[in-house]
Amino acid sequence: MNTHSFAASKLNPDHAVIDEICAAGEPWVGVVKQGQTFRIVDLEGNQAVDTLFFNAGHALERYSATDTIRAQNKLYLTTGSKLCSNFGNTMLSIVADTCGRHDTLGGACAAESNTVRYALEKYPMHSCRDNFLHALAHEKACEQLGMSKRDIPSNINFFMNVPVTEEGNLEFVDGVSAPGKYVEMQAEMDVLVLISNCPQLNNPCNAYNPTPIRLLIWNPQ
């Protein structure tokens, strides 16, 4: 039996210092300062949110899926998970989660991997890596850190469900999320957030219908 841990937040969206909508299939970049709280809301449900974190002053330090998994000895992310960097530091801690489980194995979709996973002619379809590279090319914060494709490692897929069995099978299944579910994390250092609101249409990770997400940041209470 899978156990999911749910924890609601007391923060009021009226008091947020950032409250933005990221449309379906688009990138989003923001900075969360140490002590601030960052929330991602799955507005319409079953929307994968491909997310990376970087040290806001030094992009060499970045979210590390393997360090995070190793430190908690667990594959899935939820309340209490510490999102670790490749330098072994905690970047953010998940402090509230009404979805209960998030993936960090599935990575981001890309034109090239779509040709392998689905069909050679899927190459032109929009993808998360296109979003990441678009953001790196246009966002001043990314440019100032000198970021390029080299700086894109394995990401988190908030609201995505990729169960692994004891026998070693792995599947993408329909989301565990639903309209209005959210995940909230407190920054332990100043972090640059790089998001692709996943445009994948070839598997159930977005319920075959990518939808918008809401992003909020609160100052320390």
- Site residues for another protein per CB under 8 A: 1-3, 60, 64-67, 69-70, 73-76, 86, 88, 105-108, 110-113, 115-117, 119-120, 123, 149-151, 153-154, 162-166, 168-172
Least distance from another protein to the Cβ atom of residue 20, Å: 27
Between 39 and 129, name the residue whose CB sits nearer to another protein: 129
Between 154 and 211, name the residue whose CB sits nearer to another protein: 154
Q: Which whole-number Å values give the CA distances from 169 to 13, 45, 164, 165, 172, in the listed order?
A: 40, 25, 6, 5, 11
Between 137 and 164, name the residue whose CB sits nearer to another protein: 164
Structure tokens at 52: 């990376």
Between 69 and 187, name the residue whose CB sits nearer to another protein: 69
Between 108 and 216, name the residue whose CB sits nearer to another protein: 108
Residue given tokens 């801690």 in the structure block = 93
Least distance from another protein to the Cβ atom of residue 220, Å: 29
- Residue pair 32/184 in contact (Cβ under 8 Å)? The answer is no
Cα atoms in the Cβ-side hemisphere of radius 13 Å centred on 176: 25
CA–CA separation, 43 and 22 (whole Å): 10
Between 73 and 221, name the residue whose CB sits nearer to another protein: 73
Least distance from another protein to the Cβ atom of residue 169, Å: 6
Least distance from another protein to the Cβ atom of residue 148, Å: 8
Listed residue (191, 3, 187, 221) closest to 94, CA to CA: 187
Least distance from another protein to the Cβ atom of residue 86, Å: 7
Least distance from another protein to the Cβ atom of residue 107, Å: 2
Structure tokens at 132: 């990441």
Listed residue (218, 217, 219, 221) closest to 20, CA to CA: 217
CA–CA separation, 68 and 209 (whole Å): 30
